[in-house]
Amino acid sequence: MKIFYLDINEYPSNIDFLKKFADRKFLCETKEIQHCYGRFLVKTAAKNFFKLDDTEIEIVNNKPRFKNNKLQFSISHSANIVLAAFDINHVGADIEFMKERNFKEIFKRYNYKGENISKELFYKFWTEHEAVIKLQGSPKTKITIPFENNFMITVAGNFEENYKIYKLTPDGFSCVENLFCK
Cβ-based burial of 105 (10 A; exposed 0-12, middle 13-18, buried ≥19): exposed
Name which of 4, 3, 175, 7 is nearest 97 in CA terms: 7
φ, ψ of residue 99 in degrees (nearest 5): -90, 160
Q: For residue range 71-104, what is the model confidence (pLDDT) as tens digits?
A: 999 999 999 999 999 999 999 999 999 999 988 8
Q: How many residues does the chain have?
A: 182
Q: For residue range 21-74, what is the model confidence (pLDDT) as tens digits?
A: 888 888 888 888 899 999 999 999 999 999 999 999 999 999 999 999 999 999
Q: In what order do the strands lie in the sheet with 72-78?
A: 72-78, 81-87, 2-7, 164-169, 172-175
Q: Which domains does the chain have, with CATH numbers?
A: 2-179 (3.90.470.20)
Separation of alpha carbons 94 and 73, rounded Å = 12
pTM of the full predicted structure? 0.91
